[in-house]
């Protein structure tokens, strides 16, 4: 079995910044979600052009309803989001918090599931990031 190499600390700092941005976005949705949606939500392209609702119609309103604890309202807006997205996001946040706590207590470097996902999506961008050249002796 191949062992996964730990990314450099700089990469973990970038993952932490992305993590904080995600948590800040969730906090903003908790505080101002209804107002943001009412003022900035664009009309659905699919409904405007084809006259039928798409599979994601109501997804944004469902997410905001979940964040406010209104699961019945979320299921009314979009049942797929209410029953699929909430457990996935909850698991990611809880596991991420648990790994951060473990890392803080034990002082060991380990990756959370959130950081693994970040590595997968940011991996193609790795050649674009500056890196130190190894000097040959």
So where are the chain's domains?
9-107
Q: How confident is the model at residue 22 (pLDDT cuts 50, 70, 90)?
A: confident
The torsion region of residue 110 among left (phi > 0), alpha (psi -120 to 50) and beta comes to: beta
The pLDDT of residue 62: 82
First to last CA, the chain: 33
pLDDT, average across residues 77-101:
78
Instruction: At 42, list the tokens.
Output: 């664009």
pTM value > 0.75 = no
Instruction: At 27, list the tokens.
Output: 């906090």
Determine the angle formed by the axes of helices 9-40 and 59-67, rounding to 10 degrees: 110
Q: How confident is the model at residue 130 (pLDDT cuts 50, 70, 90)?
A: very low
In percent, the amount of the chain with pLDDT more than 90 equals 0
- Residues 109-121 have pLDDT tens digits of 666 666 666 666 6
**Over the chain, what is the mean pLDDT?**
72
- Residues 33-61 have pLDDT tens digits of 667 666 776 777 788 888 887 877 888 77
């Amino acid at each position: 079995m191949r062992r996964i190499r730990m990314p450099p600390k700089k990469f973990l700092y970038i993952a932490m910044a992305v993590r904080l941005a995600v948590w800040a976005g969730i906090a903003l949705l908790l505080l101002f979600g209804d107002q943001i949606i009412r003022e900035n939500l664009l009309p659905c392209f699919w409904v405007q052009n084809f006259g039928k609702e798409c599979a994601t119609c109501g997804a944004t309103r469902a997410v905001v309803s979940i964040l406010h604890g209104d699961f019945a309202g979320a299921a009314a807006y979009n049942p797929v989001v209410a029953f699929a997205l909430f457990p996935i996001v909850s698991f990611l946040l809880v596991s991420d918090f648990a790994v951060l706590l473990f890392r803080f207590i034990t002082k060991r470097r380990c990756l959370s599931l959130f950081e693994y996902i970040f590595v997968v999506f940011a991996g193609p961008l790795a050649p674009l990031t500056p890196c130190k050249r190894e000097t040959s002796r």
